[in-house]
A and B are shown apart, each in its own frame.
Chain A
Amino acid sequence: MRDLRAVGTKFYHVLYPKEKKALLKEWDLWGPLILCTFIAMMVQGTQEVDKQDGGPEFAQVFVIVWLGAAVVTMNTKLLGGTISFFQSVCVLGYCLLPSCLSLILCRLILIAHQNRILFLLRFIVTCIGFAWATFAAMVFLGDSQPSSRKSLAVYPIFLFYFIISWLIISHSNV
C-alpha cells in the first residue's frame, strides 16, 4: 500500500512538474516498469500472417526503454552530473507517463476509420506527450549539470523521448 501511494505521488508530480524533490528523494522503479510494460505491450507488432506489421517486438521496446534510460544516465554522469544512477533512471522512467497517456489516446483514435485528419490528430497528441515528457524530465534533471554543458545533457533526453514517441505514432494497426 505504501509503495502504491509512493508510485501514485510520483505520477502526480510528473503530470504537474513543479516540485523538484519529489521524484528524487526516494527513487523506485515500479512506475517505470509499469509504464514500460504497458507501452511495450501496446506498441509491439503482430506476427499474424495476414496482418503483417513491421512494428518492434515486445523485447525490443523493453530494451530501448531500459537501455535508453541507462545510456542517458551514463551520459549525464560522464559529463560530470551530480545525480545518482538510479535516481536518474527513476526520473526518466516516470516521465514516460505523458507518452503513455498519448499512446492511450492514439489507440482510442485508431478505433475510428483512419484518414488524414485523424492522423494529424494522433500526431498532435503524440507531440504534446513528447514535449510534456521532455519538459518534465528537464525540470527534474536539469540542475545536475553545469550550464555550459546543459544542452549536451538535455539532448539525449530529448532523443530518448523522441524515439519513444516515434514508436507510439508509428503504431497504427488495431
Chain B
Amino acid sequence: MDLQFQDFGDTRTQPAGAGGAMGGKHEQTILFSEFPDTAEDDQEHDKLMGEGEAKDPRSLKAGPSFWTFEFYQQFFDVESKQVGDRILWSMVPKPGVSYLQTYIRPNPDLYGPFWICLTLTFATGITGNLASYLAASTEETYVWRYEFRKVTLAASSIFAYAWLVPLAVWGVLALRGSRAKITLLELLSIYGYSLAIFVPVSVLWIVPQPWFKWCLAIVAPVLSGSVLVRTVWPSLSHDSKQVAIGIAVVILLLHATLALGFMLYFFSPPEAKSKNDILPVNPDTNKASTPSPNVPEAPPKAPEVEGDTEAKKKPQEAKGDPTAAALVNPGVKMVERESKEIKTSSSVKKALDVKSPVKVQEGVKTKTVPSKPPPPPPAPPAAPTAVTTVGKTEEMVKKSTS
C-alpha cells in the first residue's frame, strides 16, 4: 500500500503564532495562542493614542497633554553642542545667516533661557559684590559687607525681562498680524540666549575703570540686540516702515536699559549706589523719568533715614519691588560723577557707620515707596529739576551726618 504523506512539514515546524495566514491552508486546526506585535503596529498604536514616550517626543508634538511630564520634556530636547552654538551665535551677529533659521528653528528649547537667566542672576550678584569689595578695599575705613539682596533683586529683574518681554513682543507681533510666524517658544529661546553675553560682561565689569564699564555697557547690548532685531525683523517686514522700525527700536532700547541698569546698580562704587531698575515695558518714559518722581521727596526724608531704615528694609526687600525701586536716582550717580563729588561722599561715608551710605539711599527709597504704593510707571516730571534737587539731596545727606 502506498502511503501518501501529506506535507505537514510547514505547519508543524512553524512556531505557533507565526503567519496566521498559513493556518487556513491545511485541514489541521492550529490554535494560535499569541500574536506577535509587528513593529509598524506599535508605532501606529502610539501615534493614535497620542501618548508621549520620552524617547520620541518630536513626533508627538501635539500629543502629550499639558499636565504630563513629557510635555515639558519636549522643551529640553537639545544636545550640548547645540546649546553651545546657540549661545555663541547669539552674541555675534553673523551676516547673512539668520540666527533663528540656523540655530533655533528645528527645536527651540527652554534649557538655555532658564539656565542662562539663573547663571546671570548669580553672576551679577556675585560679581557685583566683588566689585564693591574691590572698590571699598582701597579705602581702609570702609568695612565691606556683602549684600545678598542683590541676588534677589537681580533674579526678579532678569526673569521679568526674559519672560515678560518676549510675551509682549509676541503679543505685539500677533496683534499686527505678522505673517512670518515666530512662535512664543522661539521668542523665549531667542531672548534667553541673548542674555548670555551679559555673563562674561558682568565678570568684566569688576574692573573699576568707568570708561571700560561704559564701553562694555554699549558694546554688549549692541551685539546681542542686533541679533535680536535681525531675528525679529522678518516678521515685521510686512508692516509699515515706521511701525517696524519703532518696534525694533523699542526692543533695542529695552535691551540697552537692562544693561545700563545692571551696570549702574550692581557695579557702581558703594557710596554712589543707585538703583536704576527696569520696567519690562515703557522703557522710554522710564528712562527719562527715573530721576524725577521721587527726588522731590528725597530731601525731607534724608534726616529721618537712620531710624527707619532697619524696620523698612526687610519688607522692602520682601516685596522685591524693582519698579518703585527705580530710583535713587541714576541722576544722583551721574551728578556725582560729573562733579567729582565722589570724594566728598566718601568722606561722608567715613563719618558714617558701616552701611549707612547705602542705608541712606535705601532709606530714601524705602521712604518714597510707601508714599507711592502702586509701583509707578512714572508720570514724568521734568528731568532738569532732578539735577538741582539732587544737589540738595547731597547737601542734606552731608548735613545729617556731620
Write the residues of chain A forming the contact surface with B, with a CB cutoff of 8 angstroms.
45, 47, 49, 52-56, 60, 75, 77-80, 148-152, 155-156, 159, 162-163, 166, 170, 172-173
Contact = CB atoms under 8 A, between A and B. Distances in A.
B80 A54 contact: no
Nearest to A60: B148
B121 to A, nearest CB: 10
A47 B313 CA distance: 11
Where chain A touches its partner, the secondary structure class is helix
A78 B78 contact: no
Size band of the interface chain B makes with A = 20 to 34
B257 interface: no
Contacts of B126: 166
B260 to A, nearest CB: 24
B353 to A, nearest CB: 8
Interface stretch (B28-36, B69-77, B322-330, B388-396): B69-77
A152 B54 contact: no
A149 B79 contact: yes
Interface in B136-153: 145-149, 152
B204 interface: no
Contact of A78 (B73, B145, B310): B73
A52 B355 CA distance: 7
A112 B92 CA distance: 49
The 6 closest A-B pairs by CB, nearest first: A54-B147, A78-B76, A56-B148, A52-B355, A151-B80, A148-B79
B129 interface: yes
A45 B111 contact: no
18 contacts: A45-B148, A49-B310, A54-B145, A54-B149, A55-B146, A55-B148, A75-B115, A77-B69, A78-B72, A78-B76, A79-B76, A149-B79, A149-B80, A152-B83, A162-B122, A163-B122, A170-B129, A170-B146
A80 to B, nearest CB: 6
A149 B118 CA distance: 19
Contact of B354 (A52, A55, A79, A156): A52
Contacts of B147: 54
Contacts of B111: 75, 78-79, 152
A172 B355 CA distance: 15
B119 interface: yes
A166 B133 CA distance: 14
Given A77-B69, A80-B54, A159-B122, A52 B80 contact: no
Interface centre among B76, B119, B310, B354 (most CB of A within 10 A): B76
A60 B398 CA distance: 35
A172 B353 CA distance: 18
Contacts of B83: 152
A156 B76 contact: no
* Residue of B83, B148, B353, B354 contacting most chain A CB atoms (<10 Å): B148
A94 B118 CA distance: 23
B78 A152 contact: yes
B122 A53 contact: no
Interface in B333-384: 353-355
Contacts of A172: 146
B34 to A, nearest CB: 30
Interface in B38-91: 54, 69, 72-73, 75-76, 78-81, 83
B122 A166 contact: yes
Contacts of B129: 170
